[in-house]
Amino acid sequence: MEDRYDHRAAERKWQQQWDESAPFRWTGDRTKRKFYVLEMFPYTSGHLHIGHARNYSMGDTLARLRRAQGYDVLYPMGWDAFGLPAENAAIVRGLHPREFTATARASMKAAMNRLGLSYDWSLEIDTSSAEYIQAQQRLFIRFFERGLVYRDANYVNWCPQCATVLANEQVIAGRCWRCETQVVKRHVPQWFFNIRAYADELLDGLDKLPDWPESVKNIQRSWIGRSHGTEIRFSDESGGTLAVFTTRPDTLFGCTFLALAPEHPWLNDRDLAPDVRTFRDEILLKSTEERALEEKRGVFTGHYAINPINGERVPIWVANYVVMDYGTGAIMAVPAHDERDFEFARAYGLAVREVVRDPSAPGDTLDHAYEGTGTLVNSGPFTGTASQVAADDISAALERQGQGKRTIQYRLQNWSISRQRYWGNPIPIVYCSECGAQPVPQQELPLLLPDAIDFKGTGSPLSRSAAYMTTTCPKCGGPAQRDPDTMDTFVDSSWYFLRFPTPHAVEPFDRETVDRMLPVDAYIGGIEHATLHLMYSRFIIKALRDLGLLGFDEPFVRLYNQGMVNDSTGRKQSKSLGNVVEPFEVIEAYGADSLRVYLLFTTAYNLGLNWSDTGPKDAQSYLNRVWRLAHRWESALRRNGAAVLDPSRCASGAAAELRTLVHHTIRKVTTDVERFQFNTSIAALMQLSNALYAFPADGDPAVAAGAIRVLLRLLAPFAPHFTEEVWEQTGGQGLVVEQPWPLVDEDALVGAVKEIAVQVNGRFMATLEVGQDANEPEIVEAARNHATVGQRLAGKNVRKTIYVPDRLINFVVA
């Protein structure tokens, strides 16, 4: 064996070999248990950054473990290729987006290969390919036929810089998620996915995802924003009606005015005084966020409505704090009990009438709104009733009169998917003046983008291509126009994980295969996708299930949000700060395996990692230590080619101790990788390496060799090139990846210790070392006697003790 490990030569050699022999092919072997590992596929930006490297190292390590354990592993990669990066590059550099995408894809793929990632590249997909376009258009048409996608003219979020519509999820603090330009409202015809039809299931389904981070589930919960209340119909003087949504029907007698959002359609049907029109037009230009930052402003429309509970006449105002996309876009204002209404009423001298008495401050002079509950006052027949009871009684009374109904409101809006951009999947719909919107016939799919396009001007670039736009109606054969828009790229990413098993099929996916391979067992990606991608994907799966196209409810059973890789001082990496670490340079200097080990060893996967320039070097030193170990025992290794340790040679002394540690390490690495605790698995491997260094020089060489082989096998998912090279240079049998995963021999652990995590009320308190054969009562006893735990439990009543064998013990105290 050579004296030193040459990472450049070894990595080149093994990558080439993997390329040729394709050992990572998904077999689809139905006799095995399936396992689907997936990282959120990247935009084809052209740059693979160090955060990607960390993310993909995690998925790869898990995929390698699962394969070795005998699972049928699906671990694919693809490209979220449509979208603005390519289109903007095209505009700025005069490149066609297709050329930009092809180059970007090639360089990112090369970088992935240099990291040694074990994707099955035969399953690669590209959302901008004709195959994918075709498949998605088929899906779109199925949704269209079932009314799950519909067209409507609506006020939408508009980014003046990107000249496109944005979904609510793409507006961050009032700004475009991409270019940070202030978003405004525009009235445009749009296609919408009816995601609201699934609001309840999307919300309630979160409770059935125990292996999702609580933070993501909470973001989704508040994004869906389910609210129980009453819709109350006020009539206006011209015989029309105005419905308001309130969560406090008990305050109806305190309503002193109505307020409408500037977008409210009621305003379209009236003659408005000039000052009303001016105010309205001014506010319409502002984003919701901008409006919220302003002081509360409004204007009286000159019209009145009738309060259905007492016949009172109340003025109708337009106000900047009422938003169109919640409830009905109109509110009954109750200044005495709503802080916003109070502020508004004070500013314009509108009446404030107390109807709920604050039990803690009777006789209050109303210098603020009281938003709590209490006993009703000034409320006709309901006076003296408790507010919760009154809420029910008033709603019931309104329902009897046909002037109200109890409803549920959601913050979640339907998903607008029309984008006035070129580089996206064309919407396969044709407009005929006779027949209306008609889907493009199946045999004409895919509807592809025209190659030649004019990016100058506003609106959709496709609308300027006469050759593209002009067509005939599939129904009557008359002249017709195409839809000038393309689909939001989040449509592409909302179902791509169904496509991998059959990347070239005509049908979007194969039901039998996806029913077997999905849900994804481990999905890895950033928390920034909590509301966009992760909500859309859940919706699409539920909709496809209801269309009878697949048979499961959720796309991803386990979700892992990896932490960010920051610079050494904890700042976010950015071009402008000049602190970006290039994976290529690190790989060149220290090797891909050193980078992988460093990225996984340094901290827990979900924590931020502050880059350290010496980190990859330290990881390299560790690998070199393992190399020297193999060098020292080379001749023994040559006689012992497999990862097995013969128990009959380990009866006592150093050999017995080493055998115990080996099996302890197998267990630790196996369970820790399964739980995404890569850092502690690597720590265990280091510990085993140290023990091997301490193994006596005159000890049994067969024992040392067997232990080193196990070490190499366990290290292989983290450092795949390195371990193959050691294996080969020491005459190992076959390839490391072909070796089965070592099994724990429980006999070896008798007398050894195992680690149990101790929690109190679910909070980690201590790690307990107990004998391998300790039973539950002994462990409970030991945990109670642990200093920290004992202190925490002192004088407390333990209501429940939860024991998860070999893992943890949790005391629930009052």
Q: Are 483 and 189 in contact (CB under 8 A)?
A: no
User: Which residue in 119, 27, 28 sits closest to 76, CA to CA?
Assistant: 119
Per CB under 6 A, the segment of 242-250, 419-427, 460-468, 690-698 that binds ligand ANZ is 242-250
Select from ligand ANZ, Zn ion, none the partner in contact with residue 332, using the beta carbon and a kind-dependent cut-off of 5 to 8 Å: ligand ANZ
Q: List Cβ<8 Å contacts ≥24 apart for 538-546.
A: 538/202, 538/205, 539/193, 539/195, 539/198, 539/202, 539/415, 539/494, 540/494, 540/495, 541/495, 542/198, 542/201, 542/202, 542/205, 543/143, 543/148, 543/193, 543/198, 544/139, 544/495, 544/498
In angstroms, the CA 751 to CA 16 distance is: 46
Q: In this complex, which beta carbon is closest to ligand ANZ, that of residue 299 or of residue 331?
A: 331
Q: In this complex, which beta carbon is closest to ligand ANZ, that of residue 69 or of residue 227?
A: 227
User: Which residue in 706, 587, 781, 786 sits closest to 117, CA to CA?
Assistant: 587
Q: Are 677 and 58 in contact (CB under 8 A)?
A: no
For the chain, the residue count is 814
**Which residues are bridge partners to 764 per DSSP?**
759
Q: Are 707 and 658 in contact (CB under 8 A)?
A: yes
User: Residues 150, 300, 304, 326: which binds ligand ANZ (CB under 6 A)?
Assistant: 326
Q: Which residues contact 135 (CB under 8 A, 6 or more apart)?
A: 499, 505, 506, 507, 508, 509
Q: Considering the rule CB under 5 A, would residue 476 count as an interface residue with Zn ion?
A: yes
Q: Considering the rule CB under 6 A, would residue 388 count as an interface residue with ligand ANZ?
A: no
Min CB(478)–Zn ion separation in Å: 5
Select from ligand ANZ, Zn ion, none the partner in contact with residue 434, using the beta carbon and a kind-dependent cut-off of 5 to 8 Å: Zn ion
Q: Considering the rule CB under 6 A, would residue 262 count as an interface residue with ligand ANZ?
A: no
Q: Considering the rule CB under 6 A, would residue 338 count as an interface residue with ligand ANZ?
A: yes
Select from Zn ion, ligand ANZ, none the partner in contact with residue 235, using the beta carbon and a kind-dependent cut-off of 5 to 8 Å: none
User: Residues 85, 116, 298, 329: which binds ligand ANZ (CB under 6 A)?
Assistant: 329
Q: Considering the rule CB under 6 A, would residue 154 count as an interface residue with ligand ANZ?
A: no
Min CB(339)–ligand ANZ separation in Å: 9
Per CB under 6 A, the segment of 170-178, 186-194, 321-329, 585-593 that binds ligand ANZ is 321-329
| 36 φ/ψ angles, rounded to the nearest 5 degrees | -115, 115
Q: In this complex, which beta carbon is closest to ligand ANZ, that of residue 252 or of residue 748?
A: 252
Min CB(779)–ligand ANZ separation in Å: 47
Tokens representing 404 are: 């109200």
In angstroms, the CA 204 to CA 200 distance is: 6
In angstroms, the CA 41 to CA 526 distance is: 11
**Which residues are bridge partners to 341 per DSSP?**
none
Kind and range of the H or E element at 246? strand 241-246
Per CB under 5 A, the segment of 407-415, 468-476, 490-498, 613-621 that binds Zn ion is 468-476
Q: Considering the rule CB under 6 A, would residue 231 count as an interface residue with ligand ANZ?
A: no
Q: In this complex, which beta carbon is closest to Zn ion, that of residue 436 or of residue 696?
A: 436
Q: Considering the rule CB under 5 A, would residue 654 count as an interface residue with Zn ion?
A: no
In angstroms, the CA 222 to CA 416 distance is: 20
H helices of 418-487, in order, are 466-469
Q: Considering the rule CB under 6 A, would residue 251 count as an interface residue with ligand ANZ?
A: yes
Q: Which residues contact 168 (CB under 8 A, 6 or more apart)?
A: 157, 325, 413
Q: Considering the rule CB under 6 A, would residue 337 count as an interface residue with ligand ANZ?
A: yes
Select from ligand ANZ, Zn ion, none the partner in contact with residue 140, using the beta carbon and a kind-dependent cut-off of 5 to 8 Å: none
Q: Considering the rule CB under 5 A, would residue 473 count as an interface residue with Zn ion?
A: yes
Q: In this complex, which beta carbon is closest to Zn ion, that of residue 428 or of residue 717?
A: 428
Select from ligand ANZ, Zn ion, none the partner in contact with residue 432, using the beta carbon and a kind-dependent cut-off of 5 to 8 Å: Zn ion
Q: In this complex, which beta carbon is closest to ligand ANZ, that of residue 261 or of residue 789?
A: 261
Min CB(370)–ligand ANZ separation in Å: 8
Interface positions, 550-569, toward Zn ion (CB under 5 A): none
In angstroms, the CA 132 to CA 138 distance is: 10
Per CB under 6 A, the segment of 192-200, 244-252, 676-684, 765-773 that binds ligand ANZ is 244-252
Tokens representing 211 are: 């292996």
Select from Zn ion, ligand ANZ, none the partner in contact with residue 331, using the beta carbon and a kind-dependent cut-off of 5 to 8 Å: ligand ANZ
Q: In this complex, which beta carbon is closest to ligand ANZ, that of residue 247 or of residue 568?
A: 247
Interface positions, 393-422, toward ligand ANZ (CB under 6 A): 409
Min CB(328)–ligand ANZ separation in Å: 7
Query: What SS3 class is residue 86?
Result: helix
Interface positions, 424-443, toward Zn ion (CB under 5 A): 432, 434-435
Min CB(323)–ligand ANZ separation in Å: 4
User: Residues 26, 140, 191, 245: which binds ligand ANZ (CB under 6 A)?
Assistant: 245
Only one residue has tokens 């009438």, namely 353
User: Residues 78, 97, 327, 424: which binds ligand ANZ (CB under 6 A)?
Assistant: 327
Select from ligand ANZ, Zn ion, none the partner in contact with residue 42, using the beta carbon and a kind-dependent cut-off of 5 to 8 Å: none
Q: In this complex, which beta carbon is closest to ligand ANZ, that of residue 80 or of residue 338?
A: 338
Q: Are 611 and 581 in contact (CB under 8 A)?
A: yes
Q: In this complex, which beta carbon is closest to Zn ion, that of residue 475 or of residue 558?
A: 475
**What is the radius of gyration, based on Cα positions, of the chain?**
32
Q: Are 183 and 159 in contact (CB under 8 A)?
A: yes
Q: List Cβ<8 Å contacts ≥24 apart for 468-471.
A: 471/430
Q: In this complex, which beta carbon is closest to ligand ANZ, that of residue 288 or of residue 594?
A: 288
Give the binding-site size for ligand ANZ (rule: CB under 6 A). Answer: 18
User: Residues 15, 107, 113, 227: which binds ligand ANZ (CB under 6 A)?
Assistant: 227
Q: In this complex, which beta carbon is closest to ligand ANZ, that of residue 320 or of residue 460?
A: 320
Q: In this complex, which beta carbon is closest to ligand ANZ, that of residue 344 or of residue 811?
A: 344
| 532 φ/ψ angles, rounded to the nearest 5 degrees | -80, -90
User: Which residue in 530, 523, 719, 600 sits closest to 74, CA to CA?
Assistant: 523
Peptide bond into 519 cis (omega under 30): yes
Query: What SS3 class is residue 217?
Result: helix
| Other beta carbons within 10 Å of 46 | 16
Select from Zn ion, ligand ANZ, none the partner in contact with residue 322, using the beta carbon and a kind-dependent cut-off of 5 to 8 Å: ligand ANZ
User: Which residue in 312, 313, 308, 333 sits closest to 402, CA to CA?
Assistant: 308
Per CB under 6 A, the segment of 69-77, 143-151, 245-253, 282-290 that binds ligand ANZ is 245-253
Q: In this complex, which beta carbon is closest to Zn ion, that of residue 211 or of residue 434?
A: 434
In angstroms, the CA 66 to CA 72 distance is: 8
Only one residue has tokens 């995408």, namely 101
Kind and range of the H or E element at 670? helix 653-674
Min CB(166)–ligand ANZ separation in Å: 20
Q: Which residues contact 507 (CB under 8 A, 6 or more apart)?
A: 135, 138
Kind and range of the H or E element at 797? none
Q: Considering the rule CB under 6 A, would residue 246 count as an interface residue with ligand ANZ?
A: yes
Q: In this complex, which beta carbon is closest to Zn ion, that of residue 142 or of residue 475?
A: 475
Q: In this complex, which beta carbon is closest to Zn ion, that of residue 471 or of residue 624?
A: 471
User: Residues 323, 469, 735, 757: which binds ligand ANZ (CB under 6 A)?
Assistant: 323
| Other beta carbons within 10 Å of 665 | 24
Q: Considering the rule CB under 5 A, would residue 475 count as an interface residue with Zn ion?
A: yes
User: Residues 306, 322, 417, 432: which binds ligand ANZ (CB under 6 A)?
Assistant: 322
In angstroms, the CA 444 to CA 354 distance is: 66
Q: Considering the rule CB under 6 A, would residue 332 count as an interface residue with ligand ANZ?
A: yes
Footprint on this chain of Zn ion (rule: CB under 5 A): 432, 434-435, 473, 475-476, 478
Footprint on this chain of ligand ANZ (rule: CB under 6 A): 227, 245-248, 251, 261, 322-323, 326-327, 329, 331-332, 334, 337-338, 409
